Amino acid sequence: MEHHSFSRLLLVFSVLALCLGNQGVRCQLSYGYYDSTCPQLYTIVQQHVFAAMRAEMRMGASLLRLHFHDCFVNGCDASILLDGSDGEKFARPNLNSVRGYEVIDAIKADLESNCPEVVSCADIVALAASYGVLFSGGPYWDVPLGRMDGLVANQSGANNGLPAPFEPIDSIIQKFDAVGLNTTDVVVLSGAHTIGRARCVSFSNRLSNFSETDSVDPTLDASLAESLQSLCAGGDGNQTTALDVSSPDMFDNNYYKNLLVQKGLLSSDQGLFSSPEGVANTKDLVQTYGDDGEQFFYDFVWSMNKMGSIPLAGSEGEIRKNCRVVN
């Protein structure tokens, strides 16, 4: 019990340090931020996320990914939600890939009817992601709130700053470091791939013409490679399969267990355990989380709150009335 209390105190100090390290940022994340101004918030978000996942279980993973892709560009400011051809929605990592916008729209509309111009879209995204994890069987955590919505999108930032499924582990570690996250966060947050799906275009590089010496990635289980080749053959790259072949809709530590037996779907996943950079930097953590699901859950909560505290880039923000456009 003391360990958990001490860890939460450390998290509060970490959030404070992130705020102070970004001068001019209006940083006011706190627990219970809307208790007096919009007490219906949690119920409304829960109901919408639960309904969306009842219709399509995968939506929990989609909302989690939406939060991740938002925070890595301009901070956690809901800039990914802004419409426009120059928006982040149309960046290469997000186009025809990131989902869940309509769920956020529905939550925002409901909140505007109950407590208008109070709850930011950025906080809605953060809360929706947490319930997506919870309703998938993952851990519950208190989400500190008080984010502001950004005024501009950053398509080039999304193109260049988001980790790609083909990137070497060293490059991914650098991108995490650029937003204040460390190597442990890389391994922990990659565990979000215990739920969700990926398109063939994200992993087909592993299935043929892999290298001069190997047709198929030698770190990919042979039977899995064969089934993936069958899935992707002759398609346009948009066919999908589960990121976690063992328990695709359950938030657990099977993602890490899969890596131990070369059943990670993406290069960036399997590389955490099998690549030279992974062996040097991340393999031991993969082993730890594969052996201890409780530790994974605990560290996941820590890293999610750390990521969710990446502040809005710049000094201005607002509470959008419509998450798709600035006021």
Instruction: Report whether 37 belongs to an annotated binding site.
Output: no
Q: Which amino acid is at 141?
A: W
Distance, CA of 263 to CA of 275 (rounded, Å): 14
Instruction: Report whether 48 belongs to an annotated binding site.
Output: no
Structure tokens at 65: 């990914």
The dihedrals phi and psi of 57, each to the nearest 5 degrees, come to -55, -30
Residue 45's closest CA among 135, 171, 170, 162? 135
Instruction: Report whether 193 belongs to an annotated binding site.
Output: yes
Instruction: Report whether 194 belongs to an annotated binding site.
Output: yes
8 Å CB contact between 97 and 161: no
Residue tagged active-site, from 4, 48, 67, 69: 69
Torsion angle of C-alpha atoms 262, 265, 270, 272, degrees rounded to 10: -140
Instruction: Report whether 73 belongs to an annotated binding site.
Output: yes
End-to-end CA distance of the chain: 45
Structure tokens at 183: 């190597």
DSSP 196-215: -EEEGGGTGGGTSS-SSS-S
Instruction: Report whether 244 belongs to an annotated binding site.
Output: yes
Instruction: Report whether 284 belongs to an annotated binding site.
Output: no
Distance, CA of 193 to CA of 244 (rounded, Å): 7
- Residue 67 known to be catalytic: no
Instruction: Report whether 236 belongs to an annotated binding site.
Output: no
Residue 195's closest CA among 152, 134, 239, 238? 134
Instruction: Report whether 3 belongs to an annotated binding site.
Output: no
Give the Å distances, CA to CA, from 48 to 23, 63, 68, 110, 270.
Answer: 36, 12, 20, 9, 34
- Which residues are CB-contacts of 277 (< 8 A; sequence separation ≥ 6)? 168, 169, 170, 173, 271
Q: At what angle do helices 41-55 and 59-71 cross, to 10 degrees?
A: 120
Binding residue numbers for heme b: 193
Binding-site entries for substrate? 163
* Binding site feature residues: 70, 73, 75, 77, 79, 88, 163, 193-194, 244, 252
Binding site per annotation, positions for Ca(2+)? 70, 73, 75, 77, 79, 88, 194, 244, 252
Catalytic residue ranges? 69
